[in-house]
């Protein structure tokens, strides 16, 4: 295979690779559709089932909101956290027994724990909490069961059809919002702290917080919050402290990594093509070993001795004319008028002057007697043109 064909083949393969990368990026593999059953309730997410709107709402109301990206065992050292919000952690990331023990101690010491989940079967700070499902056949809603700080300004709460009901085994439990099926919002004292239970994440989700009085109820969850900031549990949603993954993790899920790979391939193609020839070989330019003055002087001396002015001008002129034809892209037998027009247009010269020069040279080459001075002027002008045009 010739070198030119091999280089073209390599560039073609790189082009096909770039096209393939574009197809891979644009045709994302079909993932599992997010629903109420498998939704990620992280406060980082702006998707319909995420809780970013809830997080932003608290910020706009002046609360000191942050995210906890450490296990519950770190709560004892996080004195600035007064309230912990836990929203439907994935089953595979449920807290360990050690974390539950640390969480219980933190609540007993005066912390406020807000649990928002449809399925709660846990014992925290000596309080047993259990939820049960009560599926609604149509549009589901709840109302305030009694006037409390949690139900201030709340008339109706919009629920999803998957909302469960909560039962707390404690004499200090208070039920705030519910319906005939049971309570969806309750709170219970635990040592010096308190646990608030909300059994439908839809109330604080991006797609539900704007319904009915859901936003008001979401704000009322912190009516009796202790001093300190509000932290959202993100550790059990997969956001781990120190696990940033660097720059590539920041661009995860975006087209930037594919763009970087395409850029690498494009640079490789450019470097390769600059080192290869894709056209026919071009002859090297031959530098003249004598100066124009030396050549003219020699020819003038020979012509003067032999009295062969026509022969001298004929040799010099036809060589000059052939070069000028190649420069103008015309055949060597082209008409002198056309040659002068084409050469002057390309070189930006005076066409009339060039036409006169060619005509005088042809007359001398045909035998017209000219003086040595005129011969020197004609040859000098031809050499000047050759030098200017790089002929």
Instruction: Give 186-211 pLDDT, tens digit per residue.
Output: 999 988 989 999 989 999 999 999 99
For the 52-243 domain, the top CATH level (class) is alpha beta
State the Cα–Cα distance between residues 75 and 123, nearest whole angstrom.
18
State the Cα–Cα distance between residues 303 and 33, nearest whole angstrom.
96
pTM: predicted TM-score of the whole model, two decimal places: 0.57
Q: What is the pLDDT of residue 335?
A: 80
**DSSP codes joined into one string, 113-176:** EEEE-S--EEEETTEEEEEEE---SS-EEEEESS--GGGTT-S-EEE-TT-EEEEEESTT-EEE
Distances (CA, A) of 237 to 91, 94, 201, 358: 10, 9, 15, 88
Q: Which of these ranges, 70-79, 106-115, 258-267, has the smallest mean pLDDT?
A: 258-267
Q: What is the pLDDT of residue 253?
A: 54
- How many C-beta atoms surround the C-beta of residue 388 within 10 A? 11
Q: What is the pLDDT of residue 181?
A: 86
Task: Please report, for the chain, the start and end positions of each structural domain, with discontinuous segments joined by +.
Answer: 3-29+250-274, 52-243, 292-389
Question: What residues contact 251, with CB distance under 8 A and at least 6 apart?
Answer: 257
């Amino acid at each position: 295979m010739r070198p030119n064909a091999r280089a073209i083949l390599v560039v073609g393969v790189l082009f096909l690779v770039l096209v393939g990368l574009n197809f891979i990026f644009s045709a994302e593999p079909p993932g599992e559709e997010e629903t109420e059953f498998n939704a990620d309730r992280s406060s980082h997410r702006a998707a319909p089932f995420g809780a970013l709107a809830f997080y932003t709402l608290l910020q706009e109301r002046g609360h000191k909101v942050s995210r906890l990206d450490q296990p519950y065992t770190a709560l004892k050292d996080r004195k600035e956290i007064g309230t912990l919000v836990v929203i439907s952690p994935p089953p595979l990331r449920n807290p360990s027994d050690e974390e539950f023990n640390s969480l219980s101690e933190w609540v007993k010491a005066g912390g406020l724990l807000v649990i928002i989940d449809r399925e709660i079967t846990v014992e925290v700070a000596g309080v047993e909490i259990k939820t049960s499902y009560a599926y609604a056949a149509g549009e589901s809603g709840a109302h305030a069961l009694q006037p409390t700080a949690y139900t201030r300004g709340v008339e109706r709460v919009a629920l999803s059809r998957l909302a469960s009901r909560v039962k707390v085994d404690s004499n200090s439990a208070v039920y705030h919002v519910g319906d005939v099926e049971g309570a969806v919002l309750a709170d219970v004292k635990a040592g010096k702290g308190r646990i608030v239970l909300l059994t439908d994440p839809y109330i604080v989700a991006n797609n539900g917080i704007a319904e009915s009085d859901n936003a008001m109820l979401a704000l009322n969850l912190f009516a009796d919050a202790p001093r300190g900031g509000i932290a959202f549990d993100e550790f059990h949603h997969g956001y781990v402290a120190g696990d940033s993954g660097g720059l590539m993790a920041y661009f995860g899920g975006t087209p930037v990594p594919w763009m970087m790979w395409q850029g690498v391939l494009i640079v490789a193609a450019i470097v390769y093509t600059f080192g290869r020839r894709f056209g026919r070989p071009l002859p090297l330019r031959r530098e003249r070993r004598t100066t124009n003055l030396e050549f003219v002087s020699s020819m003038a001396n020979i012509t003067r001795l032999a009295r062969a002015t026509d022969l001298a001008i004929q040799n010099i002129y036809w060589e000059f004319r052939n070069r000028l034809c190649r420069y103008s892209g015309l055949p060597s037998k082209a008409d002198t008028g056309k040659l002068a027009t084409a050469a002057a247009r390309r070189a930006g010269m005076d066409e009339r002057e060039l036409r006169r020069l060619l005509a005088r040279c042809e007359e001398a080459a045909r035998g017209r007697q000219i003086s040595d001075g005129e011969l020197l002027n004609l040859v000098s002008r031809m050499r000047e043109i050759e030098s200017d045009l790089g002929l």
